[in-house]
Amino acid sequence: MDWEAHIERWSRVAVRLADIRECSAEQGTVPKRGAAPSGFFLMTTRGEAEVSLAGTVYRSRAPHVLHGGKDSELAVLPLGSDFACCIVLYTADAQSPEDRAGFRLPYAFTPYALLPLQEKCRTMYRLWQQGASLDKLQAQALFLPFVYELMRQIRKSAMGNSRSNLVTEAIHYIHEHYKEPLTAEGLAGMYNCSASSMARLFKSQIGVGPIDYLIHVRIRKAKQFLQQSEARIQEVAGGVGYADVYYFSRLFKKHTGVSPLQYREDQRKARRNNPFDLSESSIVSPALGYHNDNDSYYQQVEEGEPSMFRLARPVFGAMLLLCTTLILNACQAGGNTETTSPSPASTDSAAESAAAGTRMYEHLNGRTEIPVKPQRVVSLFHLGELMALGVKPVGATTHILNNPLIADKADIVDVGVPPEPEKILALAPDLIVTTAPFAEIVEGGYEALNKIAPTIVVEQYNDPIQDVEMFGDILGKQEEARQWNEAFAAKIAEYKEKIGPYVGPEETFSILNVRPDAIFIYGDTNMGGNILYKYLGLKPTDKVKTDVINGETWEISSEVIDQFVGDRLFLAVNEGSEEQLKVVEKFIQNTPAGKSGKIYNIDFNEFLYSDPISVDQQLDIIVDLLTEGNK
């Protein structure tokens, strides 16, 4: 099916919600065989059923969505009493025969993120059942966001990127629901994980926690409202999710350095003094949305540490600023009629890039034309991968520049977290490389980055061998990548021999991370797990293998430590975890590692990253601990 054409059809045809029903086998409300009165979506939210639609039988197991057109024959046979579904009926005012046929097409889809869809359905259903005209109008307003979320997931899957990234999905949810009373616990619960696990994933992938990022989104929105409207500060506060205007004002000043009123006045002065500013050309103020009625909400949200990032302005504004700077520089040349030439270095780089030509590169967001030999790369996540191949990016994010194991970071511009488009623009990159989460958090998203320079979205493998090979292809450094991987393989072979006399063939290894509010057990991806289990071939405990490496366990309680810890333990303790460590140590004492004293302390910050340069040095640290501690 041509999904782009189908999405285009939804964007141009007038549609409206006709009815919405929640059905379950337990209550006997599942529809029997019959013709659909209108177009519909049937979303299985629990259990399983055989669904006959337009002559085709589907095995619909939650999460699952079916679409059918008006007069399509539909029959649902639950396969158990726990089956439940939501049926959303709609009408489409399609004029052309092609559009009418498109809305009748039956299709099935398995969403990778059910909760955002289910939440919209439940809200629509509740409003629809209340029956008041205003409630039904609000239900109508929620129908298109439901369709948008469904089409977004379908499109992403059609592009071959259906593997759900929890951080990316949570970021998308925050952007849609930043006005609502979100808490760390509530957000984590949406994705069936703990708040500490959610925080760990956020910090490992974008460098800040979910609440810090939520605050960033709200402050950025507030700045936009203050610049583009005459709304009262209380309205602005409510429009970004804060019922308490005084708390909002304090938070705004903390993150921007000025009060909301002073910020608005500063922006007005800047516009009056800038003849190139076009931001007041619009006479329409943005809608601010509803106030947050939860007066105690601000007490539920952790304010977090002072923001480590400055908030970005739109890319267009950055372009105007850059153009203005160039014009002023030209004017300051004392009337000299000669044009200012680029520096020899930049001229040579541009010439080399032009001579090398371009090629099409397929990535998570499609296909993009990139330089064969990029000269000015901005990398939002991968730094060690580039440096391992002899390429120093011109810009990178705070998150990866904080890596203590990577030296020679001079001259790499910190573009912030979240990344600031105008900083990236000022670097004049010829290629931007990002991961999906970082593409989401940039203001304007992937499209904004791609307007600055060709932008590719790549996987976060956390595997130096795969990453080096991938970046060798991206950077035109295939030979350098081959040499690095060969040298790394030789080093692994050498170190396996080196630790042989000190490690028994049946000894088991575990990695524990103690934090002030959580205990994490690591598998074979990072915190040294890739080195122990993948490269050196050492054995995990059975529980680590089944529950962590082959399962989805990350966080554990102190009471089950003895089930995961084997003969040897690598222990990473975060700052501020002294009290938690006292509790953990009592349980470690009863493990084989605790009884034999084979516990190795590793630095959390040194083992946080999984790029080639970091892993190479982590390998040295681990082998030294295993050999020196046994001599």
CATH fold label, 358-478 = Rossmann fold (3.40.50)
Separation of alpha carbons 73 and 91, rounded Å: 17
**Phi and psi for 91 in degrees, rounded to 5?**
-120, 145
pLDDT at 101: 92
pLDDT, residue 344, reads 40
* CA 77 from centre of chain: 38
CA atoms within 13 A on the CB side of 328: 9
Q: Whole-angstrom Cα distance, residue 487 to residue 60? A: 50
- Cα–Cα distance between 252 and 273 in angstroms, integer? 24
| Residues forming CATH 3.40.50.1980 domain(s) in the chain | 358-478, 503-629
CA 379-381-386 angle, to 5 degrees, is: 55
Q: Where are the alpha helices (DSSP H) in 546-588?
A: 561-564, 578-588
Is 600 in contact with 570 (CB distance < 8 Å)? Answer: yes
Count CA atoms closer than 13 A to 264's CA, side-chain side: 14
Smallest CA-to-CA distance from 122 within 107, 142, 108 is with: 142
**Start and end residues for every CATH 2.60.120.280 domain found in the chain:** 3-161
Give the pLDDT of residue 164. Answer: 59
Round to whole Å and give the CA distance between 327 and 276. 11
CA distance 441 to 173: 12
Chain region(s) in the chain for CATH 1.10.10.60? 184-269
3-161 CATH fold? Jelly Rolls (2.60.120)
Predicted pLDDT of residue 630: 52
Helices (H) and strands (E) in the chain, counts: 28, 22
Dihedral angle of Cα 511, 516, 518, 523, to the nearest 10 degrees: -20
User: What's the one-letter identity of residue 624?
Assistant: D
Token couple for 19: 């009815």
Q: What is the pLDDT of residue 544?
A: 94
Beta bridge partners of 86: 22, 43
Q: Are strands 39-46 and 84-93 parallel, antiparallel or unpaired?
A: antiparallel
Strand order in the sheet with 84-93: 14-24, 84-93, 39-46, 64-68, 107-109
The CATH homologous superfamily of the domain defined by 184-269: Homeodomain-like (1.10.10.60)
**How many CB atoms sit inside 10 A of residue 12's CB?**
10
Given a contact cutoff of 8 angstroms between Cβ atoms, the answer to whether 467 and 385 are in contact is yes
d(Cα 393, Cα 419) in Å, to the nearest integer? 15
Given this model, what pLDDT does residue 618 score?
A: 96
Instruction: Give 509-545 as a DSSP string.
Output: EEEEEEETTEEEE--SSSTTHIIIIIIS-PEEPHHII
Helix 210-228 to helix 260-273 angle, to the nearest 10 degrees? Answer: 50
Tokens representing residue 588 in the block? 């470690």
Which residues lie below 8 Å from residue 72, measured CB to CB, with a gap of 6+?
A: 35, 36, 53, 54, 104, 106
Best CA proximity match to 99, nearest among 207, 6, 172: 6
Element (DSSP H or E) covering residue 555: strand 555-556
For 205: left if phi > 0, alpha if psi spans -120 to 50, otherwise beta; the answer is alpha
pLDDT value at residue 160: 62
The listed CATH number (3.10.105.10, 1.20.58.60, 3.40.50.970, 3.40.50.1980) that belongs to domain 503-629 = 3.40.50.1980
Average pLDDT, the chain: 85
Q: Which secondary-structure segment (H or E) carries 592?
A: helix 592-596
> CA–CA separation, 81 vs 52, rounded Å?
18
Residue whose entry in the numeric block shows the structure tokens 């102190």: 558
Low-confidence residues in the chain, pLDDT < 70: 159-164, 274-356, 629-631
pLDDT value of residue 545: 94
Classify the C-alpha dihedral 554-556-562-567 as positive or negative: positive
Number of other CB atoms surrounding residue 376 within 10 Å: 19
Amino acid 627: pLDDT: 93
- For residue 53, list its beta bridge partners: 56, 74
Phi, psi of 443 (to 5 degrees): -60, 125
- Tell me the helix, strand and coil percentages in the chain, rounded to 5: 50, 15, 35
> Please, which residues bridge with residue 508 across strands?
539
Instruction: Yes or no: say if 25 and 83 are a contact pair by the CB < 8 Å rule.
Output: yes
In the chain, % of residues over pLDDT 90: 63
> What does the DSSP assignment read for 315-349?
HHHHHHHHHHHHHHHHHTTTT--SPPPPPHHHHHH
Q: Using an 8 Å Cβ cutoff, are 627 and 496 in contact?
A: no
* Rounded distance between C-alpha atoms, residue 543 and residue 146, angstroms: 41
Decide: 241 and 292 in contact? Cβ < 8 Å: yes
- In whole angstroms, what is the distance from residue 53 CA to residue 621 CA? 60
d(CA 309, CA 313): 13
- The C-alpha atoms of residue 107 and residue 34 are separated, in whole angstroms, by 18
445 within 8 A of 344, measured Cβ to Cβ:
no
411, 392 in Cβ contact below 8 A? yes
